[in-house]
Amino acid sequence: MGVPRVYPIRKLKKKLKQYGIIWVSHRGKGGHGIFQGQDTNGEIQSYPLPSAEHKKEVTGNYLRGLLRRFGLNENIFNE
């Protein structure tokens, strides 16, 4: 299947939680939020999403970046 063009944010949060990656919402200026957790080497990483991306769906470009940051394979979308 590969990386989808868009993916619902609720499903993404639930799926990443299985890998120990959680959503941290930032209230205030800009409205960004971040995914935070350990990568495959055990190092703490974070990946920001602009407020426009985390309303309902996340686009494929952000999904690919997120997978790279945490060392995940795109097969997580096949599970």
CATH numbers and ranges of domains, the chain: 6-78 (3.30.920)
Helix (H) or strand (E) holding 10, with range, is helix 9-17
Give the pLDDT confidence of 9-55 residue by residue, as tens digits: 999 999 999 999 999 877 655 667 889 999 989 999 999 887 655 57
- Each residue of 9-30: b (16+ CB within 10 Å) or e? beebbeebeebebebeeeeeee
Q: What is the rounded CA–CA span in Å between residue 17 and residue 42?
A: 15
pTM: 0.84
Per-residue pLDDT, 53 = 58
Q: Would you call 49 exposed, middle or buried from its count of C-beta atoms within 10 A (0-12, 13-18, 19+)?
A: buried
Average pLDDT over residues 56-78: 92
Per-residue pLDDT, 29 = 59
CB 66 within 8 A of CB 44: no
Per-residue pLDDT, 24 = 87
Per-residue pLDDT, 31 = 65
